[in-house]
Structure 1
Amino acid sequence: MDLERMILQGVSRPTIPKREFLLTEFGAIADGKSDCTDVFKRLIKVVSDLGGGRIVIPAGEYLTGPIHIKSNIELHLQSGAIIRFIQDPDRYLPVVLTRFEGMELYNYSPMIYANDQENIAITGEGTLDGQSDNNHWWFYKGKVEFGWREGLPEQSADVKLLHRMAREQIPVKDRIFGPGHYLRPSFIQFYNCRNVMIEGITVVRSPMWCIHPVMCKNVIVRNVTIQSRGPNNDGINPESCSYVLIENCRFDTGDDSIAIKSGKNEDGRRINIPSEYILIRHNLVQSKDSHGGIVIGSEMSGGVRNVLAYGNLLINPERALRIKTNTTRGGIIENIFFIDNVAVNLSQEAVIIDSLYDNEVGDHPPIIRKINVKHFKCVNAECGIVVRAAKECRVESITLEDSHFLSVKTALCLENVEQMIIHQSTFNNFSINHLVVSGNLSSL
C-alpha cells in the first residue's frame, strides 16, 4: 500500500566504513570476569577518530559497563559472543540526558547509549545480557514479585518528583537523578540519532525498556530476539521517532512487546515531536506476560500517526492491538492500520482503544481517529473489540473490516464512540454485514 512504500523510502541501512577492528586485539579478555569497559571506550575512540568502522566481538563472554557508541560505528557480535553488563548502578555514571516514561531528565546511562550521532548499528548473532534480576535493578519497581521487600528503596517517590518537575517546567538541566534515586535506565537507547540499525542480536534481562530509540530518524530493528520478563520490560519503544521499520523480530517480554510513544503530558507537549511513519511486519509475539502485542501509548502527548502493522503473529499476550491514553495526555492518534494479523489465546481484549487508561483525569483530552482493523483473525479472547472513551475525548472513524473472532466471551463493548463502522465481520457465529455505531453498544 502507499503508506508502506512511503515508509520504506524513508528507511535505509546506516553507512558504515568497510574496515574492521577486533575487540580482543585491543586487550579484551573473553572470560566473563575481566572488566572490558576501558577496552570498549578506547576502541570506540580509536575507530571514531579514524572516521568509523565495524567493531567485531568474537565468541566468548565480555563483562562491561555502559557502551557509548559514536557516529559511523557498528558493534558486531559474532555467533557465541555475549556481552554481559556490570550489575552495579554506580558504573552507569556520570548521568546522561535520557527519558524515563516520556519525561526528560539526567539519569543513569542506558547500557548501550548514543546521543546526537548518525550511522550507528548493533548487528550479529550474539547476545546482550543486562544481568538485571530481583537483586539488581528490578526491585526498584517496588513489587514483591521482583525482589522488593520492606526496607529496600523503590522508585515511586522519584517518579512523583519527575512528574512534578515536568509539570512545573523545571529546566531539564536541573532534573538530576542517578545516585540516591531509583529510576531504572533503558537497555539500548539512541537519543536524537539518525540512521540507526539493530539486527540479528538477542537481548535478555533488561533493567526496563529493552530497545528505546528517542527522537531518531531512520531506524531499522530486524531479526532481533527479545527475552526479558522483568518489570516494564517492553520490547521495542520507538518514542518521537520517524521512519521506523520493525520486522521479523521475536518477543517474550514482561510488558508491551512493541509500544509506540511520543512523550508524556507537559514534556510531550513541550517537545512536540510525534512518532510517525512506522512499519511493523512479520513479527512473532509469544508471551503470557506481554500486556500488548502492538501498542500505542500511553505516553503519546506528541502524537502518533501513520502506522502500519501487518503479517504479525500474536500468541498468548493479553491483547493484540492496544491504544491507551487519557485526558492528561493530549495529542492525536491517527491513521493507524492493523491489517492481516493473527492473534491466538488472548487473556484480555483482542483490540482495545482506551482513553480512560489508569483512570487519570485532566484538561488535555486526546483525539483518536482513523483506526483501521482489516483482515484480522482472532481465536480465543476474553473480548473482541472494546472502546472506552472519556466523554471529553473524540474517538471517531474506527473501522473493522473483514475480520473474524472465534471463541470470544464478549464480542463488542463500545462507550462514547463518535463513529465506528463494522463491515463483513464475524463474532463467534454472529455475522455483521454492515453496522455503523455512534454512542454506546454493550455487547452482542
Structure 2
Amino acid sequence: MPNMPKRQFLQAGLAAALPLALWRCSSTAGTIDAISYPPRTALDLLWDQVDAIERDLARTSFSSRVFNVSAFAAHTGQPGDLNTARHNRAAFQRAIDACHHAGGGRVLVPAGVWPCGALTLKSNVELHVAKDALLAFHPATELYLPLVFTRWEGMELMGYQPLIYAFGAQNIGLTGEGTIDGGGSNSAWWPWKGQWKHTPWQVDDSKVQHAGRNLLMQWVEQGKPVAERVLPQNFLRPPLFQVYQCKQVLVAGLTLQNSPFWVLNPVLSEDVLISRVKVVSHGPNSDGCDPESCRRVLIEQCLFDTGDDCIALKSGRNADGRRLNRPVEQVLIQDCTMKAGHGGVVIGSEISGGANHIFARRLLMSSPELDRGLRIKTNALRGGLIDTVALRDIVIGEVKDVIVVNYFYEEGRDGAFLPTVRNISVHNLQVDKADRLFELRGFPEAQIGPLQLSSVRVNCQSVGVLDAVGQLDCQQVLVNGQPWRFQG
C-alpha cells in the first residue's frame, strides 16, 4: 500500500485511536520466555477475505500511444460557451474513437479550459485530464442526446447520456491531476430536483423530476421493456460518470465537482478501482460514489465532500433490482476521508438485489454537516438481503448519528418484501462527538441482526433508538466513558 494515505490516517486519527489499542492490550512486568498468540477469531477470518478482493481485482493496462485532443481540432474556451462545447464534444469523441480503433492508449486533455458535452469511452482507452486542465461540461440538454441505456435511482430507462459514459467496454480509464466540472449549479440541472433543503433556486413546477420519476417507477412495476421507457418530458439528471456492464475500470487522481446528479456510478460492472479522487459536489443527490450491482470494487485514498451520501452501495430499486438479481459484492473501502454528506459508508436505499461482503477500514469522518457514519437504508418495498458487512479502524470527529439501520426509509412498511440485515461488524471505532450512537429501526417480524460491536468508544448525547433488534453483541464498548451493553 502507498505510504501517504496511511501516514495521513496516523497523523489525523491514530493518536485519538491509540487508547483503544492500549485498552485492548495489557502487559505484566517480568521476563517473557515465549510469546503465546491467541487463537484466530471469527473476526480475523472475516478480514482475511479483504486480501482476496485486492489480489483478485483485475487491473487496467493501457498502450503508451497518446492522442492529444488538440490534434483532433478541440479548442479551449469559456465554460459557458455552448458553441465550443458542441464543437469539442465531437472533437473529443473523434480522439476517443481513433484511440480505440488503433488498439488503445491515452486520450490527453492538456492544460486549459475545455467546454464539452457527453462523451462515450471505449475499450482500452484512458481519458487523461492533465494538471491545470478543466474539462467543463455545459448544461445544455442537447449535449446529452441521443438517449442511451442507463440506470437512474436503480431503475433502467432510455435517458440522458451520463457526462462520461461507457457500455459493455473493457479496460477503460479516467485519470489525471486535472478537474472535471459537471456544470451543476443553482441555475442548471439542480433545480430539476424541485424542493430541496433550503432550495436556493426558484422552483418551476413544470421543470422538476417528480412526474417523470413517478412514471418510471410505474413502468418498472409493470415490467415495461427498457427500450420503451422513454419519458415524454425528461427532467431526470444524468450522473457525471457511469460505466454500464463494463470490466476493468479505473478512475484515479482527479477532482470531480458540481455533478448534475450522482458523481461516480459504475453499474453491473466488475473490477472497478477508484483511487486518489477528490469529490466536491454539494448539489441535490450528489452522492460521491455509488457502485450498483458491481463485483470486486476497491475505493481507496479518496476524499468525499458531498450534498448526499459519500459512498452508497446499491443493487437496483424494487422490481428492477429483483429482475436483474445482481447484488453489490466484494467491495473494499480504505484510507478515505469523508466530510459533509448524508452518510459516510452507506448501503441502500436502492438495494433490492442485495449486498454482501462489504468491507471498510482506516477511514476518517468528521463534519458538522455529516449526518451518519455507517448507514443502511431500506424498506418493505425494496427488501434485499444485506449480509456480511465489516468496518474497522474508523475515527469520527463529529457526526449526528453513528450507526443507522433503518427499514422505514421512504415507503417504510408499504410493501411485501421484508429486508434482511445480518452479520454486521464494527471493530475499533472512536467517535469524539455525536448526537446519537444508534438509529436501529427494524420490523418485529424481520428483526435486525446479528450485529457485533467491539473496541468501540463513543461520546454522544444519547444512545438513540433501538427498535426490533434481534441480536447486538457488545465487547468493550464505552459510551461517554462508561461500559455499555445492549439490553434486548
**TM range, smaller chain:** over 0.9
> CA offsets per residue over residues 337-357 of structure 1, 9 Å max, x none?
0111011111x2111111111
Aligned residue among 15, 22, 25 for 2:71: 25
C-alpha contact 1:247 1:282 (8 A) present in aligned 2: yes
State whether residues 262 and 288 of structure 2, in contact with CA within 8 Å, keep that contact through their aligned partners in structure 1: yes
Partner residue in 2 for 1:114? 166
What is the aligned counterpart of 2:266 among 205, 213, 222?
A: 213
The one-letter code of the counterpart of 1:386 is E
Aligned counterpart in structure 1 of residue 222 of structure 2, from 163, 168, 183: 168
> How far apart in 2 are the matches of 1:315 and 1:366?
29
Residues of 1 paired with 2:205 and 2:58: CA distance? 49
Give the secondary structure class of the aligned counterpart of 1:320. strand
The counterpart of 1:139, out of the listed 167, 191, 203, is 191
Contact kept, 8 Å, 1:339 with 1:374, in 2: the verdict is yes
The residue correspondences of 1:261-410 to structure 2 (distance < 5 A) are: 261-287=314-340, 290-316=341-367, 317-346=370-399, 348-360=400-412, 361-406=414-459, 408-410=460-462
SS in 1 for 2:347: strand
Deviations 1:30-68 (A, max 9, x none): 223423111111111111111111011110011111010
1:18–1:437: structure 2 CA closer, same or farther, 3 Å change rule? farther
SS in 1 for 2:358: strand
Question: Can you list the C-alpha shifts for 1:380-435, whole angstroms capped at 9, x where unaligned?
Answer: 111012210022323221001110001x1112431111111111110002113xx4
Correspondence list, 1:399-438, <5 A: 399-406=452-459, 408-432=460-484, 435=485, 437-438=487-488
Where 1:180 maps in the other structure, the secondary structure is coil
Partner SS, residue 186 of structure 2:
coil
Aligned residues: 431
Letter in structure 1 aligned against 2:56: G
Shift of 1:146: 4.5
- Shift of residue 140 of structure 1? 0.6
Between Structure 1 and Structure 2, the one with more helix by share is 2
Classify 1:181/1:194 alpha carbon distance in 2 versus 1 (closer, same or farther; 3 Å). Answer: same
In the aligned structure 2, how far is the partner of 1:73 from the partner of 1:238? 21
Shift of 1:22: 1.2
The alignment partner of 1:340 has SS state of: strand
Query: What's 1:442 paired with?
Result: none
Deviations 1:2-29 (CA, angstroms, capped at 9, x unpaired): 1211111221421212211111122111
Residue 32 of structure 2 corresponds to which residue in structure 1? none
Q: Partner letter of residue 140 of structure 1? A: W
Please name the residue that 1:155 is paired with.
209
The yes-or-no answer on 1:61 pairing with 2:113 is: yes
Quick check: 2:76–2:113 contact (8 Å CA) kept in 1?
A: yes
Q: Which residue of 1 aligns with 2:125?
A: 73
2:302 to 249, 253, 259: 249
User: In the alignment, residue 105 of structure 1 is paired with which amino acid?
Assistant: L
Taking the aligned partners of 1:325 and 1:151, their CA distance within structure 2 comes to 28
After TM superposition, give the deviation of residue 437 of structure 1 in Å.
Answer: 4.5
Unaligned 5+ residue runs, structure 2?
A: 1-46
- Is the alpha carbon distance of 1:136 and 1:311 closer, same or farther for their aligned partners in structure 2, counting shifts above 3 Å? same
In 2, distance between residues paired with 1:108 and 1:393?
38
Contact persistence 1:141–1:148 (CA under 8 A): no
- Whether the 8 Å contact between 1:146 and 1:230 is mirrored in structure 2 is no
- 1:55-86 CA-partner distances (Å, limit 9, x unpaired): 11110011111010000000011100111111
TM-score, structure 2 normalization = 0.86
1:105 lines up with 2:157 in the alignment:
yes
Which of the pair is proportionally richer in strand? Answer: 1
Is the Cα contact below 8 Å between 1:272 and 1:302 reproduced in 2? yes
Q: What TM-score does the superposition give when structure 1 sets the normalisation length?
A: 0.95
Pair 1:161–1:152, CA change in 2 (3 A): closer
Return 28-37 or 239-248, whichever deviates more.
28-37
Report the 3-state secondary structure (helix = DSSP H, G, I; strand = E; otherwise coil) of the residue aligned with 1:311: strand
- Contact 2:68–2:95 (CA<8 Å) still a contact in 1? no
**Mean CA deviation greater in 40-49 or 139-148:** 139-148
Kindly indicate whether the alpha-carbon contact (under 8 Å) linking 1:138 and 1:146 is maintained by their aligned counterparts in 2: no
Structure 1 residue 151: Cα displacement: 4.8
Secondary structure of 1:382 counterpart: strand
Structure 1: stretches of 5+ with no match in the other structure: 439-444
Who is 1:11 aligned against?
57
Q: Secondary structure at the match of 1:29?
A: coil
Give the match's secondary structure for 1:270: helix
- Which residue number in structure 1 is paired with residue 3 of structure 2? none
1:257-315 CA distances to partner (integer Å, 9 max, x unpaired)? 0000000111000000000000000111112xx10011000111101010110100001
| Residue type at the aligned position of 1:374 | H
